[in-house]
Amino acid sequence: MARKKKTEDTNTSENLLKNTHIANAGEMIDQRITDTLEINYMPYAMSVILSRAIPEIDGFKPSHRKLLYTMYKMGLLNGNRTKSANIVGQTMRLNPHGDAAIYETMVRLSRGNEALLNPFVDSKGNFGKAYSRDMHYAAPRYTEAKLESICTELFSEIDKNTVDFVDNYDSTTKEPTLLPVTFPSILANNNLGIAVGMASSICSFNLKELCETTIELIKNQEHNCIETMPAPDFVGGGTILYNRDDMEEIYRTGRGGIKVRAKYTYDKNFNCIDITEIPPTTTAEAIIDKIIERVKAGSIKEITDIRDETDKNGLKITIDLKRGTDADKLMQKLYKQTPLEDSFSCNFNVLVDGYPRVYGVKDLLIEWIRFRGKCVYRRVSFDLEKAKSRLHLLKGLEKILLDIDKAIAIIRNTEEESDVVPNLMIGFGIDEIQAEYVAEIKLRHLNREYILKRLKDIENLEKSIADMEEILSSKARIRKIIVGELNDVIKKYGKERKTDLLYLSEIDDEDAEEEIPDYPVNLFFTKEGYFKKITPLSLRMGGDHKLKDNDEITQSFETTNNNDLLFFTDKCQVYKARVSDFADSKASVLGEYIPSKLDMEEGENAIFMVVTREYKGYMMFFFENGKTAKVTLSSYATKTNRKKLIKAYSDKSPLVSLLYLPEDKQIVLETTGGRCLLVDTSVITPKAMKDTQGVGCITIKKNQKLSAVRDYVEGEFVKPSRYKAKNLPSAGAVLSNEDVMKKNNITFEGFE
């Protein structure tokens, strides 16, 4: 049972309870958390979704709509600019969320901020820049603003009952629920919003292409929008990496990512790159910071200086280059490592009829056409009622024309003022509204000329009324009106697109590889996992290798700096690196500990190293159970820069040995039972699967296992055929007396 404790009743709390009807107001109760979420949090979440973060079909959030409507009512559509502080103050009559939030909204809508492809606020003063993180806007007392001319398309018919009006938050005035926009503004500007449990991210499209596409959809709903509107258009320009299939998916679902690259020019005279257009999702400071970070990390070595040279002419980031640097190759590298190439994530989530829905481009435009059709219908209905009322008055005036003197006599001979209208109604057979209109005509207008001029309007009104009634009964006529309005918008405000398209087929797929200096090096790898890279000169001048106690060098190579390294571990994994990743060393140091350098797992040890560039040849793995796996080295090559590959070899049986074979050769397998098998690796079929269990090679007897694998030395066996097998697996053979004696002789010679 819920425990309730009543607070002290006061007149104030009683009045509040009576006026607002809040359930359980003035009481403290124990409540389940699930009930709290449903009763308290869900209304808040719905308020954020419906009243703040998600735009509606007219293209505006409530904060945008309140601000623009306030500016319209202030006469700022055609008048002079006024201080922004005045606008902010007036807007608080509709938007109670504080002056700072209102001013930030106006800044984003302004031309000076350059956040919108089609701005709605004509600004004067410092409104900051959307492409700059640190360029802050001035206080509202210093800046001025008015509405842009394009706002005529928002408010030209707002007073004709085209949209519904509701009370503001304190019921002292009215505000529109939507704006009767004459073009699809929902797709004309970027619009981002984060609600509770959902978000909206709408990119901007070129206004001319957008209106043309809408016209084509009105004419044919099967029209493919991508034919007339191939891609979004961003206020900051840039270049879209264009993939037709991906773009069609975004148009169909309203979700997806659009990759945008910065634009640049190369100045030969000063050997520098000037970046003048950047993706809409980043800022100049973020780009500069990332480039500096990459330069400090050593991954970019061609840059000597970078600075922000943005001025009144617009954005400009200048990068000074080292002598001989290829600017195009450097930019390819910067695209991959910095926000100079970034993705705009699309999520066309829009409120329609009070419900949030994710639309594709075509569906969204069809919804807008439906919305605009309702606006046109309501506007025509409003004009029709006005015309009918005017015609009704003129019909009464027409009857007065029959005898003006009689009308004057009726008015003059009526003793009571209240009887004038009834007497006119009786005298001419007109209704009260017509009689009121006649009674209010000035004496100077009671002449034949004035009345005849008014009566000429009757014929025009009757034609206009018939035309409007036809419009209301014909969807085709309404669609024709919308098309006409869209064509007018194209003529007045249409511009060429700012963002270019770069088709993927035109992009060089080759990675912008860093130019790695290539020079001879000697590589050394020890049993304990230490690695050294030493130049030949340093090796000749150095002394003995410094090693840890009980450590020894197991592998050494003479190669060059521009090669790849594969480190196989005792946990069936392989780690990839480059020789150039390691600094030149000396024999007198221990070297770099590979498990630490390559961030191996705890307790994981490197047991074998392969040096390669073209990933040719094979890896061979020999297991205690006598099986052998032959894997093509190309299986370890990756197109991406992955540093770690799991399942590098099978874990079904303990590993005895592994070899890298640039080409096939003969090897000897030995078991703990003293048997040997001479095998030519060419008879073993290679596999592409890295963790293959392999094939049976040598037959292992019970309680025995494969113990060693080594290269075959020509002449070490008196009769090599004794240890060869026609088919695998084979048991091999024990050493003959001759081979035992020969082995002992070799051993004795080694001690002499």
> What is the architecture of the domain spanning 374-484?
Orthogonal Bundle (1.10)
Q: In CATH terms, is domain 263-339 a member of 3.30.1490.20?
A: no
> Which tokens belong to 437?
């209109």
Q: What is the CATH number of domain 60-180?
A: 3.90.199.10
Question: What was the pLDDT predicted at 120?
Answer: 97
Span 1-10, pLDDT tens digits: 333 333 444 3
Question: What was the pLDDT predicted at 508?
Answer: 56
CA angle 341, 344, 350 (to 5 degrees): 175
CA angle 656, 659, 663 (to 5 degrees): 150
The three-state secondary structure class of 711 is: strand
> Which tokens belong to 95?
């938007």
Q: How far apart are CA 736 and CA 4, in angstroms?
A: 99
Q: How far apart are CA 709 and CA 135, in angstroms?
A: 69
Residues of the chain with pLDDT under 50: 1-20, 509-512, 747-752
Question: What was the pLDDT predicted at 745?
Answer: 67
Question: What was the pLDDT predicted at 237?
Answer: 94
Q: How far apart are CA 433 and CA 599, in angstroms?
A: 91
CB 63, CB 52: distance < 8 Å: yes
CB atoms within 10 A of CB 507: 12
Span 632-673, pLDDT tens digits: 999 998 766 678 899 999 999 999 999 999 999 999 999 998
Every domain of the chain and the residues it spans? 4-30, 60-180, 263-339, 374-484
CB atoms within 10 A of CB 57: 21
Query: What are the distances in angstroms from CA 401 to CA 127, 391, 450?
Result: 62, 15, 10
Q: How far apart are CA 557 and CA 476, in angstroms?
A: 82
Q: How far apart are CA 201 and CA 187, in angstroms?
A: 11
Point out which residues pair with 556 in neighbouring strands.
524
Point out which residues pair with 670 in neighbouring strands.
676, 708
Question: What was the pLDDT predicted at 573?
Answer: 94
Q: How far apart are CA 116 and CA 188, in angstroms?
A: 9
Point out which residues pair with 318 in neighbouring strands.
274, 307
Question: What was the pLDDT predicted at 26?
Answer: 63
Task: Give the global pTM.
Answer: 0.68
> Which tokens belong to 78?
């055609």
Q: What is the helix (H) or strand (E) element at residue 130, kind and residue range?
A: none
Question: What was the pLDDT predicted at 514?
Answer: 53
CB atoms within 10 A of CB 664: 16
DSSP secondary structure string for all residues of 353-384: TTEEEE--HHHHHHHHHHHHHHHHHHHHHHHH
Mind spelling out the 3-state secondary structure of 300-330? CCCEEEEEECCECCECCEEEEECCCCCHHHH
Q: Is 335 a catalytic residue?
A: no
Sequence-ordered list of residues with C-beta below 8 angstroms from that of 591, at least 6 positions apart, any chain: 524, 526, 530, 531, 532, 585
Q: Which residue among 44, 69, 103, 142 is the active-site one?
A: 142
What is the Cα gyration radius of the chain? Answer: 42
Question: What was the pLDDT predicted at 131?
Answer: 93
Q: How far apart are CA 26 and CA 23, in angstroms?
A: 9
Which residue in the block uniquely carries the two structure tokens 């991508």?
226
CB atoms within 10 A of CB 7: 10
